[in-house]
Structures are given as structure tokens and as C-alpha cells.
A and B are shown apart, each in its own frame.
Chain A
């Protein structure tokens, strides 16, 4: 894979290590598989990846805490390389999105009890944000948690929960203080890591999805579910902080889309050079060249922006609010780019692109989900737009007419 100019020596070595693992072990495995793998195959691959030392969560966790400490750049490198295999590894992804907040905010006891088994591939986690009345409006969580002694009692619904029926833990976001004052300061939510087999949790339905089948997308009922206070992540009222931090990790996880986009660009390149129509390889035709250029531009920009974000976090100097805006921009651009790249690849590959051998249509179908998950792209645009208008314009960049009267004129 191409290194970015600012990668450290460690980043470069790690990229070479991952590339070797993917080429020699993971890609051959992927080549043999149906792309809508049965869940047991996904578990098998996920465990294999963990055994080989490549759990995405381990990239974020420091070595002294059982991880590999490769940082956000290492995490992104790994996701990109996994993406180009087009393997369903949902157990790994949901565990990193659900386990990430424990790495960031968990107490030493919680890390020992919950995080370590996740890092070893012994436990897996699902994330429970979405509800029947809560989609993009994620701060409006209705699942209610009420304190009783040293426990909290949870009541309500969660839906669209990937691996909800099979994960060991559910990273569950609840409302603990529904007052308007608490909501105004985003201190109304609280996060809990809930063992899935806790009494009162029932899986009511598995959604039949259009793509990404076999992700056990669940509707879950929480009825008088008693959770120990020790399972609370950070403090009561800190759920919004925990949730948004987890979502930032999820948005960086879209590196997988960049990996898929890379595979499509490579496929279109190989195909275009070898497909002869009207007496010449189609790569000779300008219409095809224009599509190839669009694909290359989108891939290059998405990849560069993504690794820029990872570097921001690795620097330790990221302004986390600004990071949230940048992560939203990156998520929108990368996911739209993947869809557009897949469409272009489908046109270049023509009928072949609609087969499971060339995957363009298959990736396109699954890529549609990325537009609406992890924060819908349209809603993220509202967030970005509002932040843009909140910033004070730089007077030195403005035309004279917009600068208005200067103090010495008054």
C-alpha cells in the first residue's frame, strides 16, 4: 500500500506487516468465500484475525494494557487493508466500536474485566444506540435507566443492532435524566456495558436486510434489566461524551470503504487494459479514461483526508470538537466516494461488474448502507453547515464592502 508522506517509520513497518498478512493469509481465505458469508464463517475469520494479532481494537490499546499501540494510523491501515479483501468481519468492527469507549473512558477494573477478553477474542460487543423513535436524532434516546441501590434498571427498546443476538456485551446508551435542563447540556445520557444474557433482554426480531446479510441485525427489548453500577462507562450523565467518542472511532473505521474503493479502482484498471471492444482495449477510450480519473481523484482525496484525521488523533493535540466536524466531512466524502467509484467501476466492467466475481455491484449495494449508518450523511451535513456559520469570518479575507467601516472612519 502507498505510504502517506507523514507516516512514521513504525507506521510504514506496520503497513508492510499488515499487507503481508492480508496477501498471504486473508486474501486467499476471502477468495474461497461467498461474499455474504454465513455468520459462523464471520466468527471464524474474526477469531483467526485476532489470533494472528490483528484485532482492530488492539491497535488503539497501548501495549501495557494488552494492545499493540499502533495508534489511529495503525487502526486505519488495518481497516483499509481488510476493506480490500471485502470480507464481512462484523464481530471485529462492532467490538471495536463498542469496546473503544471502554479503552478511552473505562476504569482500570473495567478494562481488566471487559476490555482484555475482547482483545483476546473471547468476548464480542454490539452497540445499542438506535431505537424505534431514535435514528439520526441520537441524543433523543428513550431507553430509560433508573437507579435502584447499586444497580440501574433499564426499560425500553433498541433496534438495528448489528450482532445484537450473538454479541456477549451490548454497549447501551440510556437516558438517566430526561429533564429539559439536562438535555440542554447533553448530560441526560448514560452508557452501560450490559451482558447480553442478562435477565429481561429479549431479541424480538432479526431484520431482513437488502445487503450485508448475515449481520444479525436485531430488535431488542429491555424489560426491567438490572445492570450493576460498576458497568457504567464514565459517570452518570456522561453518555453523550462516550457515544460521540465511539462514533468518531466508527467514522475512522470507514477506512474499510477506502480499501474497497482501492480494490474497485484496481479491478477497473486491470479490466480496462484487457477488455477489447470496437477493436481496442477500452482503456483507450476517453469516456473510460474520464471515469477512471474520477475514481482515482475520489480515492486519493478520501484516503489522504482519512489518514490526516488519524494523524490528528495520534498527535495528541486534536481539538476534539473540530475533530468531530472533520470526521463528519471525511465520513460523508468517503462513503459518497465509494458509491460513485462502485458505479463507475460497474460501468467500466459492464455485465461482468454485475457478477459476484468482479464485485462492483455487490459493493455498490452494500455501500448504500454507509450513507445512512454511523450518522446519516444528510444529518452530518446539517451539523457541518451549522458549525460553518458559527465561525467568525476572517475580516482580512473579506472583500472591502463586507468589512464595512473601519474604526478610523468613526
Chain B
């Protein structure tokens, strides 16, 4: 379950990176997109991904995970990303 969740999160963050290379993703938004309601197991999965260096997390001063973003290593783990929008590459 945990492995499945971590791979789904990583895949979502890779897809989000395709839309914007600047922004982190908000945890609540990610949970909603993945249909996850259990915040504790979601936090555990995010922390596991961070431990492996696959995502960066931003944790607020109260200790709550708020934001996540895929790292260079995480993108390599996923493999292909196809950045969206912009001009045709010539």
C-alpha cells in the first residue's frame, strides 16, 4: 500500500512538474487529486520519498507538511517528463 502510494505521489509530482517547473504542490490538493483521505499515511509516504531524495518538502513552523516538489533524482526515477506549453523547440 505504502509503496503504491509513494509511486502514485511521485508520478503526480512528475506530472505537476510538466505543467510548472517553478512551483511546489500543496499537500491537500495532492490528496484530493489522488483520492487519499488519510493524512497520516500520506505524510508517511511523503517523508519516505524525501528520505530517498526523490522529493523536497516544505514543512511549516508548526511541523506540518504543506508543500512537495519532485527533485532531479525523482524525475530520473520516473523517467520521461514532457514539459508542456511554450514554443516549439527548434
B22 at the interface (CB under 8 A from A): yes
Q: Assuming A281-B67, A357-B85, is B58 touching A275 (CB within 8 A)?
A: no
A403 at the interface (CB under 8 A from B): no
Q: Evaluate contact between A276 and B85: CB separation under 8 angstroms.
A: no
A350 nearest in chain B by CB position: B22
**Chain B residues in 8 Å Cβ range of A355:** 86
Q: Evaluate contact between B26 and A274: CB separation under 8 angstroms.
A: yes
Q: Evaluate contact between B24 and A274: CB separation under 8 angstroms.
A: yes
Tally A residues with Cβ within 8 Å of B.
12
Q: Evaluate contact between B58 and A280: CB separation under 8 angstroms.
A: yes
A199 at the interface (CB under 8 A from B): no
Task: State which residues 248-304 of A face B: CB under 8 Å.
Answer: 271, 273-276, 280-281
Per-residue contact bits, chain B 21-38, to A (CB 8 Å; 1 contact, 0 not): 011111000000000000
Task: State which residues 35-67 of A face B: CB under 8 Å.
Answer: none
Per-residue contact bits, chain B 46-75, to A (CB 8 Å; 1 contact, 0 not): 000000000010100000001101000000
Other-chain contact of B23, A271, A280, A351, A356 (Cβ < 8 Å): A271
Q: How large is the interface on B (under 10, 10 to 19, 20 to 34, 35 or more residues)?
A: 10 to 19
Q: Evaluate contact between A352 and B22: CB separation under 8 angstroms.
A: yes
A273 nearest in chain B by CB position: B26
B57 nearest in chain A by CB position: A276
Give bound CA distance, A274 to B85, whole Å: 20
Q: Evaluate contact between A275 and B23: CB separation under 8 angstroms.
A: yes
B87 nearest in chain A by CB position: A356
Q: Evaluate contact between B85 and A275: CB separation under 8 angstroms.
A: no
Give bound CA distance, A275 to B66, whole Å: 12
Per-residue contact bits, chain A 325-365, to B (CB 8 Å; 1 contact, 0 not): 00000000000000000000000000110011100000000
B-to-A contact residues, CB < 8 Å:
20, 22-26, 56, 58, 66-67, 69, 85-86
